[in-house]
Structure 1
Amino acid sequence: MDPVASLLPATMTLGTLLLAGLVTGLGGFVKGAVGFAMPLVMISGMGIFLDPELVVAGIVLPIVVSNGLQIARGGLGAALQAARDFRVYIVLVCTFILISAQFLTRIPTEAMFLVLGIPVVVLCAIQLSGIRLTIPPGRKGIFSVIAGTISGILGGLAGTWGPPTVLYLLALDTPKARQMVVQGVIYGLGSVALLVGHLQSGVLNRETVPFSALLLIPAVIGMWIGFRVQDRLDQEKFRRATLFVLLIAGLNLIRRGLVA
């Protein structure tokens, strides 16, 4: 038996592993270029040909490592400073994820995808049309509370707090390098929770961990290429690229809300 095949879950073949690797490489590239959307790409792509639970297991280690690389690239000092500067937002996101998750079974998931996706698409379309939405520096505190609460509630109910986080950072006119670090810190905390949660749930187990570990290879390669692209983007091109990816993410959320 092929040594690689022996590491795969019984329902997988080398062909599906190759496809999963290509999808993961694309997700890593997007993550490296704009700092988010790896789960979106991996779940949307691999969900076409793999069991949903296996997809969830597969994304865990690449997400944890990619966020670690994103933080490391900006430097530990920058990450600690970002955690301090955005501590209110981070605390609110984590708190409301825990609270709202308790109501997950009482609210239709499809409805939450629509509640999240429609505003994201509308706001991205407005900004891509040339209208710039900004938060004045003096009002950062109140908007941190509003955005952090909304992001946390949607994170607990819909499983994603990336799109509102990115919109918030763009409205603050966050410099490219700093935005990458802040996103890495916020998503990194969530990815560690994801790892622990799925070790407890049993989704990540002796059979699925090797699959997730193998996906680290294309994830890191894709992210390295994405970093090269990010370095070539000036602030305005980075902003528009981020909005474009965010628009696609929002449309995907609407699709998930409409297709049961």
Structure 2
Amino acid sequence: MVWIVIIVFAIAGLIKGTIGLGLPAVSMGLLTLVISPFQAATLLIIPSIVTNFWQLFAEGHVLRLIRRFWPMLTGIVLGSIWSIFPTLGHSHFQSEALLGGMLALYGVYGLFSKNMPDLAPYEKWLGPVVGYLGGALTVATGVVVIPVVPYLQALGQKRDDLVQSLGLAFTVSTLCLAVYLQQNPVDNIPLDWKMSLVALVPALVGMWAGTKIRYRIPEQKFRKVFFFGLVIFGLYSVLHQFHLI
């Protein structure tokens, strides 16, 4: 089990370091092949929090990002408390399949569209709505992607700003997920902090390697990797949910 955790989080960290997301999606997808989704979610808490902090503070300007995105962050917190979806570990609702399908479609759109829609003029009112849905889906699937990732990407941010704002959203959502898992145990399964701490080391090594790769990729190639990653994560989630892989 330990070696499985090490390999999974090394791969997930590498992907996150390269494109700015993917650690929860990859780790949840691979770990649920051998353990329950609730157990998998407990393992990703420490690696997610630490790598998200790394991603968030790597470039500075954190306070500027918080001032800009606090309505979205507030929505994430509210969504994780009052989710409109059946929550993780307490339902057989196929929310992961829905999430994966939306993720794959958005990735295909990003790969083949020349210009992304500019949502910056609507940020003031759209941010809280996006945040709420992102928080609600976090406690439903263990992963925050839709609609937070496409929303942040559609604000026209540069590569490093996008990666950092994703880190901010992921940090808040992971903290909310940790609180949810602690307060809503399933079948008396406690949070496995020890194994989660073990998973941190390969995740950090993988993220370090992925960061080196990211800085060697031109921005246009980065965008292609970013959206291609969304397609892969989405398709994998759908196929795994329906036991096709």
Same fold, TM-score > 0.5, yes or no: yes
Letter matched to residue 137 of structure 2: L
Cα distance in 2 for residues equivalent to 1:196 and 1:139: 31
Q: What is aligned with 2:21?
A: 36
Deviation at 1:252, TM superposition (A): 2.8
Provide the rounded CA distance (Å) in 2 between the counterparts of 1:107 and 1:135.
36
What is the identity, as a one-letter code, of the residue corresponding to 1:236? Answer: Q
TM-aligned CA deviation for residue 136 of structure 1: 4.9
Could you tell me how far 1:125 is from its partner in structure 2? 1.0
1:121–1:247: 8 Å Cα contact kept in structure 2? yes
- The answer on whether the counterparts of 1:113 and 1:257 sit within 8 Å (CA) in structure 2 is yes
The unaligned stretches of length 5 or more in structure 1 are: 1-15
Give 1:160-239 correspondences, 5 Å limit: 160-200=143-183, 201=185, 203-205=189-191, 208-239=192-223
Q: 1:3 corresponds to which residue? A: none
Q: Find the counterpart in structure 1 of residue 59 from structure 2.
A: 74
CA contact (8 A) 2:87 2:139 kept: yes
TM-score by length of 1: 0.80
The Cα of 1:32 is off from its aligned counterpart by 1.0
CA contact (8 A) 1:113 1:256 kept: no
- Of the three residues 18, 38, 41, the one matched with 1:56 is 41
Task: Determine the C-alpha separation between the residues in 1 that align with 2:195 and 2:120.
Answer: 45
User: What is residue 121 of structure 1 aligned with on the other side?
Assistant: 104
Matched, 1:244 2:198: no
Q: Which amino acid aligns with 1:89?
A: M
AA aligned to 2:49 is V
The residue type paired with residue 25 of structure 1 is: A
Larger radius of gyration: 1
3-state SS of 2:58 partner: helix
Whole-Å separation in 2 of the counterparts to 1:47 and 1:103: 18
Change (3 A) 1:175 1:48: same
2:126 matched to 1:143? Answer: yes
User: What value does the CA root-mean-square deviation take over the aligned residues?
Assistant: 2.6
Aligned length, in residue pairs? 240
**Aligned-partner Cα distance in 2 for 1:257–1:20:** 20
Mark the CA change 1:47 to 1:102 in structure 2 (over 3 Å): closer, same or farther: closer
Q: Shift of residue 221 of structure 1?
A: 0.6
TM-score, scaled to structure 2:
0.85
Question: Which residue of the partner structure matches residue 138 of structure 2?
Answer: 155
Q: 1:122 to 1:159 in 2, by over 3 A?
A: same
Q: Which amino acid aligns with 1:242?
A: F
Secondary structure at the aligned position of 1:182 is classed as: helix
Q: In the TM superposition, what is the alpha-carbon distance from 1:36 to its structure 2 partner?
A: 1.2
Aligned counterparts of 1:146 and 1:196: Cα–Cα separation in 2: 21
SS of equivalent to 1:74 = coil
Contact 1:101 1:157 in 2 (8 A): no
Q: Do 2:13 and 2:202's aligned partners in 1 also have CA atoms closer than 8 Å? A: yes
How high is the sequence identity, in percent, across the aligned residues?
21
- Does the aligned pair in 1 maintain the 2:24–2:142 contact within 8 Å? no
Which structure has greater helix proportion?
Answer: 1
Change (3 A) 1:47 1:137: closer
Q: Give the whole-Å Cα distance in 2 for the aligned partners of 1:254 and 1:125.
A: 15
CA distance in 2, matches of 1:198, 1:96: 15
SS at match of 2:52: helix
